[in-house]
Amino acid sequence: MGLPDHHLTDGETLVSSFHPHWKRLVVPVVAFVLIVVAAAAAIWFLPSDFSYAFQARIAVAVIAVLLLIVWSVVPYLQWRTTSYLLTSHRFTISSGLLSKSTDEIPMSKVNTVSSDQTLVERLFGSGTLVVESAGERGQLALRDIPRIQEVRSQLFRLVEDAPDETPD
């Protein structure tokens, strides 16, 4: 998932790369299990002497596949195609499968780095990272960041070490 070397500028090094926290996948996994169990039960318990039993089984399977796509596959793909890259010069947020959206915040433009965690997020080690930059977007809140305290301290250290880009 890392950034290819040809995307790094001179002197830039990759510090960390990660996806949103895995807890985003809990609901899609539970939905997957429930849909598969419900579809299997519906197909199994459908009376075989029912005149449209074959068509009913096909309909149950088609509905189950559609529900799986909407409630399990799409959230998984959203999680999988969202990545955060932290380099010595920038913080990159990338998402999207068919169309890609990328935001890059130069370390020299970051004003404030803060984090918020609920009790459950503290138990999981995740949280919301808030990055305030001098750019057009201002404040950017990134939910479900894994190892939030580690990422926050890395980002803060990189911001402190970033050279100012003001002309002499």
Own/partner pairs, 34-37, CB within 8 angstroms, 24+ separation: 35/64, 35/67, 35/68, 35/71, 35/72, 36/64, 36/68
Predicted pLDDT of residue 165: 60
Average pLDDT value for residue range 105-132: 90
d(CA 159, CA 126): 21
Q: How many CB atoms lie within 10 A of CB 23?
A: 15
Q: Residue 4: its pLDDT value, please? A: 58
> What pTM, to 2 d.p., does this model score?
0.80
Task: Choose from 30-34, 116-120, 153-157 the range with maximum mean pLDDT.
Answer: 30-34
Q: Which pLDDT band holds residue 109 (cuts at 50, 70, 90)?
A: confident
pLDDT digits (tens, 9 = 90+) for 52-87: 999 999 999 999 999 999 999 999 999 999 999 998
- When pLDDT is averaged across residues 125-154 and rounded to a whole number, the result is 88
Quick one: how far is CA 77 from the chain centroid? 9
